[in-house]
Amino acid sequence: MGKNHFLKDFSALPEDVLIENERGITLLGYPLFSPKILLPHVDPPQFQRLNTENGSLIALSKNTVSNFIELYPIDLSTERTAGSSSSQMTKWFVLMDYKEKYDIDDQGWCYSWNFNNSRWKSKNGLVRRRVWVRLPTTSHGLD
């Protein structure tokens, strides 16, 4: 389990929260970010799950994410929640501005110089992360 230096107020977040991590380099003046250049044993994995009870971050390996399709945030297909009615569907969304507390760019990324930093901003940094939340949706047609 990792220590959470990123989300300060997680009490009002939904139960399903994933953190996506990437590291970047600058090549010819252009920043390039990828999960493939995360440093082993230094950086967190590409995905972490937020334990909303105590705020700790739980590492998800690539095997875990690929085996449990409901945890993989890039697949934005709708899913039924367990024990709910047929109208209760869920989708993964990028958390854009949580209670106006975070400086986030237009794609939901926050940047910093390292993952243990408590200061995150909307530009300039060697690492970046964004928050995915699974929320209920309703399917309304355009009738």
Within a domain: 5: no
- Is 58 inside a domain boundary? yes
Residue 127 CB partners (closer than 8 Å, separation 6+)? 21, 22, 23, 24, 43, 111, 112, 113, 114, 115
Asked whether the predicted pLDDT for residue 23 surpasses 90, the reply is yes
**Residue 80 covered by a domain:** yes
Q: How many helices (H) and strands (E) does the chain have?
A: 1, 8
User: Domains in the chain: how many in total?
Assistant: 1
Domain that holds residue 104: 17-23+34-137
pTM of the model: 0.76
Dump pLDDT digits (tens) for 47-60.
998 887 777 888 88
